Structure 1
Amino acid sequence: MADTADSVEDTSSDNKPLFRDLTGDIDDQETTEIDDTLCMNCHESGTTRLLMTRIPYFREVVLMSFDCPHCNFSNNELQPASTIQDQGVRATLKVETSKDLNRQVVKAESASLSIPELDFEVPSNSQKGVLTTVEGVIDRAVRGLEQEQPIRRAVDPATAEKIDAFIEKLRGLTDVKTPFTLAENEDAPTGAGADEVENLADEVLSFNTNCPNCQSPVPTNMKVVDIPYFKQVIVMATTCDRCGHRSNEVKSASGVAEKGRRMTLNMTDPSDLTRDVLKSETCTVCIPELDFELSLSYGIGGKFTTLEGLIIDIKEQLEKNAFCLGDSTTDTGGNKMKEFLAKLGEIAEGKRMVHIELDDPAGNSYLQNVYAPDPDPEVVVEDYVRNHQQNEDLGLNQMRTENYAEDS
């Protein structure tokens, strides 16, 4: 058991922070994808991607992008990842050379932007938060003004002509023939000072998605949970008020571990059912006494629950299988399945003691050690080197993170 304790400690010490600096290293940037997101343009399903990152010398943010394969609509948004601060922030940049156009600009939704030389202002709450450049700010302003120009030319040609002239002035700023000023005023800031420590564990982020059952727009809540003696995970939950559908999903915030992990619990008391369990979407659950194995492809995704809750979820998932029970099965097969489900029920009620094995090639699953920080005498933890097929299933064999621009 001493080797087990050492292996757990070594893995946890290699954990990476949830928010990492925004760099060009693709291996260090991990995104979360949410499929079946409602497209507000064509009302089909698209994909939302989330990236939690830290902008150097600034703060932590959540970058969100949406892409619809049906109508090719796409957009991106930036949301702060900390609480509102007591004081506002005003930043002023004098743009004098073309290099200044490439300076990065983080504009929160609550911030206003202005160019005093043109008496131009983008009011706060008129645009979503965005990570861009000075040139990008000007380009967004131009595209915003041009959007309604065809209608103005038909309804009010005089106003449209004045706006065309103003657009040309905005475009002329990118030549930097004359220096100009870009001012950002954050009336309701979310940036933290350098000496402040942000407690993300107390915050819940929310973003719009659609119900996988009835496709109605619903909010999805996302929270960072720090599991003691393990690592940080992202818990996402969706509740639809229209049809009552509820779903939750857990994803690791640390990527794929160096080694796979196999944890085996020898149940000796009904109190073992209260142990916390994090089952990632790549984890296989085995009960040797029942000759049972739940593969990662069966349909139960990532879950953060108790051992009792995990067994009940497995039992309910099997009960939903139309080929296991009902008129479509034989008497013999149906009786065997009913007997098996009854045994699962006995395990969930603490009437039957068995071994529970969690085998996760990605190393992102967790079984609570109730004796922590001391070794748990009833849990055996094995860290192992993944084989070729396991790396293939995780998409690691074809992944190239170094010298990827060169020929193979």
Structure 2
Amino acid sequence: MSVISQENVRGGSMFKDISADEEDTQPTEIESLCMNCYQNGTTRLLLTKIPFFKEIIISSFSCTHCCWTNTEIQSAGRIQDQGICYTLKVQSKQDLDREVVKADSATTRIPELDFEIPAFTQKGSLSTIEGLLDRAVAGLEQDQPARRETAPEVAEKIEEFIDKLKRLKDVEDEFTLVIEDPSGNSFVENPVAPQKDEALTVSRFKRTAQQDAQLGIKSDDDVEEEKPGSDLETMRNEVLVFNTSCPECNAPASTNMKLVQIPHFKEVIIMATNCDECGHRTNEVKSGGATEDLGTKITLHVTDASDMTRDLLKSETCSIIIPELEFELGMAALGGKFTTLEGLLKDIKDLIVSKNPFLCGDSSSTDRVEKLKLFGEKIDKISAGEMDVHIVLDDPAGNSYLQNVYAPDPDPELTTEKYTRTFEQNEDLGLNDMKTEGYQE
């Protein structure tokens, strides 16, 4: 692997944007062993960026002796803090053209056919929905000639199932595609970004100990339970520091944690990590209380630039809606944050526009680029108080907050609504299967 040019490291990022210019996308060639004929072949490596995703490594092997070839895609990023699950309702043939990045740790399911591709049974790939179906069909057809000789009945049943998979590409009936990846490194395209995709549901989840083991992550079994009483009082008065590792360079770092009381609301836990080696900095906000009995929907009518200075707490379970822009950001997209309204809008713009890799590269379309740039300009107008909009914080857990500048009097531009969660919202929060009374019976 030492043949990777050091000039790329010195000259900037090793991961280049996808480009038609051959000088910008020269792969690295390495002589390697062919596992089919055991002669020497050639492996070509390309370090690039996938639009709307992240850095990846594309590898392609070819052998001139036996003509055997193989391709593979690997994520060059770290394993994410949470797993991710994409649920897509395929309703038309246009949905089959959606780009999909499927990591090797992802499980693919089609519930209507009781069909599942388990994790680590296929290598990572960059494809489309149609490409995933074709790959599944090719895998099932591979051993059909041998099955017809040894087990004709099994071969016939598999042939019937292959026909069902092929008919899915005609999209005569709606079907569901589920991609669940505990590493968080898979992706399904939203063709109407930055607007909400009604056919696509994205949810994040905490990995189980078994999934951590499959990914090679050591689970921490030595965490002691927090003691009530004096220890909690100490946390309120002091900044606690504990050792950790930097998520970027894995060097030893320290995380600061502090309990903070937000006026007219509740306690929150603020955690901040700073790495002295690579300079990486991150912060996170967690609610210090339990899940509320009712969800909370906070609506602010932005009428002036002074509204940008309002303090805001966005929990991980809170979604953000701006009706005038037809914009909705789902829960966990920005994580937990304690900031101002202006800071939240800046983070939204960075996520959708400034740090969006789909604004560069050959795969970006002119219409999409213009749409996203126009969206960024509208966010700037809102921040400057030049656009009259409503900003809605919808938190089914009830742990989000937006400052009332008239407190303790009512705020004429701010409304807070309490509502009963739906079954689906309780399911997302893990409350339907949670038993807090009589659990020892």
Pairwise TM-score range, normalised by the shorter structure = 0.5 to 0.7
The percent of aligned pairs where both chains have the same amino acid is 54
- Pick one of 341, 351, 355 that aligns with 1:307: 341
| Runs (5+) with no aligned partner, structure 1 | 1-32, 37-42, 62-80, 83-199
User: How many corresponding residue pairs?
Assistant: 228
- 1:382 maps onto 2:417 in alignment: yes
| Residue of structure 2 equivalent to 1:208 | 243
Counting only pairs closer than 5 Å after superposition, residues 299-378 of structure 1 correspond to structure 2 as 300-319=334-353, 320-378=355-413
Over 3 Å counting, the alpha-carbon distance change for 1:362 and 1:389 in structure 2 is same
TM-score, structure 2 as length reference? 0.49
- Pick one of 207, 211, 228 that aligns with 1:54: 228
* Distance across 1 between alignment mates of 2:224 and 2:402: 27
What secondary structure does 1:308 align onto? Answer: helix
* Distance across 2 between alignment mates of 1:329 and 1:242: 35
1:261 maps to amino acid? T
* Distance across 2 between alignment mates of 1:251 and 1:236: 8
1:349 maps to amino acid? A
2:340 maps to amino acid? T
1:262 maps to amino acid? K
Equivalent residues of 2:319, 2:393 under 8 A apart: yes
Q: Residue by residue, what CA displacement relative to the aligned partner does 1:30-50 show, whole Å, maximum 9, x if unpaired?
A: xxx9999xxxxxx96544857
Equivalent residues of 1:318, 1:324 under 8 A apart: no
Q: Residue by residue, what CA displacement relative to the aligned partner does 1:347-367 show, whole Å, maximum 9, x if unpaired?
A: 223322311100000000000
- Residue 251 of structure 1 and its aligned partner are, at CA, apart by 0.4
- Residue 52 of structure 1 and its aligned partner are, at CA, apart by 4.0
* Distance across 2 between alignment mates of 1:34 and 1:225: 28
Over 3 Å counting, the alpha-carbon distance change for 1:324 and 1:52 in structure 2 is farther
| Residue of structure 1 equivalent to 2:289 | 254
* Distance across 2 between alignment mates of 1:53 and 1:392: 30
* Distance across 2 between alignment mates of 1:50 and 1:335: 52
Equivalent residues of 1:35, 1:46 under 8 A apart: no
- Pick one of 194, 213, 217 that aligns with 2:252: 217
Give the RMSD, CA atoms, in angstroms: 2.4
* Distance across 2 between alignment mates of 1:51 and 1:277: 30
| Residue of structure 2 equivalent to 1:288 | 323
| Runs (5+) with no aligned partner, structure 2 | 1-205, 210-215
* Distance across 1 between alignment mates of 2:320 and 2:223: 29
Equivalent residues of 2:319, 2:330 under 8 A apart: yes
| Residue of structure 2 equivalent to 1:148 | none
* Distance across 1 between alignment mates of 2:288 and 2:208: 18
Q: Which is greater in Rg?
A: 1
Equivalent residues of 1:322, 1:328 under 8 A apart: no
What secondary structure does 1:53 align onto? Answer: coil
Equivalent residues of 2:251, 2:277 under 8 A apart: yes
* Distance across 2 between alignment mates of 1:217 and 1:243: 11
- Residue 323 of structure 1 and its aligned partner are, at CA, apart by 2.9
What secondary structure does 1:323 align onto? Answer: helix
Counting only pairs closer than 5 Å after superposition, residues 152-231 of structure 1 correspond to structure 2 as 200-231=235-266
Over 3 Å counting, the alpha-carbon distance change for 1:50 and 1:238 in structure 2 is farther
* Distance across 2 between alignment mates of 1:259 and 1:238: 32
- Residue 241 of structure 1 and its aligned partner are, at CA, apart by 1.1
| Residue of structure 2 equivalent to 1:405 | 440
Over 3 Å counting, the alpha-carbon distance change for 1:369 and 1:348 in structure 2 is same
